[in-house]
Structure 1
Amino acid sequence: MDYQTILYDVRDDVATVTLNRPEVMNGLNGQMRLDLTHAVKHAPDDARVLVITGAGRGFCSGQDLGDRRSSADIDLERTLREEYEPLLNAIYECPIPTISAVNGPAAGAGANLALAADVVIAAESASFIQAFARIGLIPDAGGTYWLPRQVGFARAMGAALFADKIPARQAAEWGMIWEAVADDEFAETVKARATHLAAGPTVAYKNIKRALRQSYDNSLSDQLRLEAELQGKAGKTRDFLEGVMAFMEKRTARYEGR
């Protein structure tokens, strides 16, 4: 598909989506949300890992406030329900591992877009800002869902109320993201992480995602039953057989993702 606001590249079983409006710090307009949703939904047909990153010096500045002629033209409820919700659900429900490679500032909806991925890797110069209160809004794009789960209630509340910039290193210490890496190591680290997952047991990854997410709502008994169900399915995959054989033969497993 000929995308207008993103770049889409597939190589070595890794699909990379690059937000490509660097002149506005990759601000999210209607077309970018459409392009990104389409790319995320189709990535599993092309690859075994999805990476989302930004062009230029920023990851994403959030909602492009210049996308409407005036504040009176903005129907935020409609925009969130009809444009953001499908996008965030597509990322959340993506059957392959997803990585947000945060190369620079991620603000507002851009920060929460990043947090929607399975793993967030950020350059040390990057930062996360729940900027909504600065313009009289509440965190959206999943912010009120991700933050309490990742950093706890007190830090989520402070981040939302004060709208302070949270440097990548602090975000990693809080558990908001997986890791913060030196800027000069960022690209290679993301590549290595994505390559590792692309060569891994894809079905197991899908079931890991499901099991961990459902654990928030399950009792222990329910979770143990779910583990048994998913482990039973994993045990019937070719990747499981390959993993056992590789272990017995003391060699690196060659997973096919099925």
Structure 2
Amino acid sequence: MTDYPDTDHTRLDLIADGPVLLSIDGGVARLTLNRPGSANGLSVEMLKAMHEAVMVCHSRADLRVLILRGAGANFCGGGDVKDFVSRGEGLPDYLREATAYLQVVSGSLVRLEAPVITGVQGYAAGGGGLGLVCVSDFVIAAASSKFLAGATRVGMAPDAGSSVTLQRLVGFRRAMDIVMRNPVISADEALHMGLITTVAADDQLDQVIDNLALTLAAGAPKALAATKRLLWNGMGLGFEACLPEEARTVAELARMNDAKEGLAAVIEKRPARFTGE
């Protein structure tokens, strides 16, 4: 067990079952996306569970660090495409609810006083994967990990506030390329462009994350919280302001045939045939 200073070493499994797991040990919380069979694809049920877990973290005065991980081979593949397709004509309303919860979760991670470390293995894609990476304070990626925006590939638009955070992190021109062309970005490329903090060998990912958590947990918590707030405020007022427009845009696009075609193409593993309708 990692020895975090000046903290209680009793592990508490606060959420022990379901689509999201949460435990805390020595002031370090571990929030795990727990749908490995669907690449931790986000559904409304899962987003509600994430919101509950992050709110528990907000209530813990003893919290020093939050580690965000995904169970299984991937951190998060974005939205649960099969779940979306199953909604049929109700998809726009469903996505409006899902986007609202994702935005609340993203904003809550930004506003959490404790620093957030996200560990990425496999894919971090869409608003769930890439979006959560963009609202994390530190991102440690396995050398074999990949990053993908993906929203426009299925006739949708970026969410989780990434229409603001991504360009602040990597620059306007590169962000435009990432969300329009949807290239698959390697861990080394992500590091070079400033999307992530560091790259770890695949078999060293857990250790690198724990070492960083140890360093942060040993710091002055109020000073770190204040510094985090100042840096996020320095992102500009655009983050909070963009969220309603993101939500409206995602819901409007979900009504179009292009969105249905894009989702079907992903499931059927074929190129999409977009018509602009």
The alignment's TM-score, normalised by the length of structure 1, stands at: 0.80
Contact 1:58 1:105 in 2 (8 A): yes
Contact 2:134 2:165 in 1 (8 A): yes
Counterpart Cα distance in 2 of 1:217 and 1:125: 33
The answer for the alignment partner of 1:12 in structure 2 is 26
Matched, 1:131 2:145: no
Amino acid at match of 1:4: G
Say which structure, 1 or 2, has more relative contact order (CA 8 Å, 6+ apart).
2
Post-superposition CA distance 1:147-169 (Å, at most 9, x none):
11000001000001110111111
Mean alpha-carbon deviation: is it higher for 148-157 or for 34-43? 34-43
Matched, 1:181 2:200: yes
| Runs of 5+ unmatched residues, structure 2 | 1-13, 238-277
Counterpart Cα distance in 2 of 1:107 and 1:71: 23
Q: CA RMSD in A?
A: 1.6
Counterpart Cα distance in 2 of 1:92 and 1:34: 17
Post-superposition CA distance 1:74-129 (Å, at most 9, x none):
12334312x11211111111111111111221110121112211111111111110
Matches within 5 A, 1:2-151: 2=15, 3-44=17-58, 45=60, 47-68=63-84, 69-75=86-92, 76-81=95-100, 83-109=101-127, 110-151=129-170
Post-superposition CA distance 1:201-239 (Å, at most 9, x none):
110011101212223449xxxxxxxxxxxxxxxxxxxxx
Amino acid at match of 1:62: G
Counterpart Cα distance in 2 of 1:104 and 1:216: 28
The answer for the alignment partner of 2:190 in structure 1 is 171
Amino acid at match of 1:74: L
Counterpart Cα distance in 1 of 2:121 and 2:112: 22
Counterpart Cα distance in 1 of 2:110 and 2:46: 18
- Could you say which structure has the larger radius of gyration? 1
Counterpart Cα distance in 2 of 1:27 and 1:79: 12
Counterpart Cα distance in 2 of 1:66 and 1:32: 14
Matches within 5 A, 1:162-241: 162-217=181-236
Contact 1:100 1:115 in 2 (8 A): no
- Match of 1:213, SS state, is helix
Counterpart Cα distance in 1 of 2:126 and 2:120: 14
Counterpart Cα distance in 2 of 1:217 and 1:35: 29
| Runs of 5+ unmatched residues, structure 1 | 219-258
Amino acid at match of 1:9: S
Contact 1:107 1:128 in 2 (8 A): yes
Contact 1:100 1:119 in 2 (8 A): yes
Post-superposition CA distance 1:42-68 (Å, at most 9, x none):
124052100100111100011112224
Amino acid at match of 1:190: I
Contact 1:4 1:31 in 2 (8 A): no
Identity %: 34
Contact 1:115 1:146 in 2 (8 A): yes
Q: Do the aligned partners of residues 5 and 175 (structure 1) sit closer, same or farther apart at CA in structure 2, a change above 3 Å counting?
A: same
Counterpart Cα distance in 1 of 2:162 and 2:25: 31
Contact 2:103 2:159 in 1 (8 A): no
Number of residue pairs matched? 217
Contact 2:43 2:98 in 1 (8 A): no
Mean alpha-carbon deviation: is it higher for 37-46 or for 155-164? 37-46
Counterpart Cα distance in 2 of 1:70 and 1:77: 12
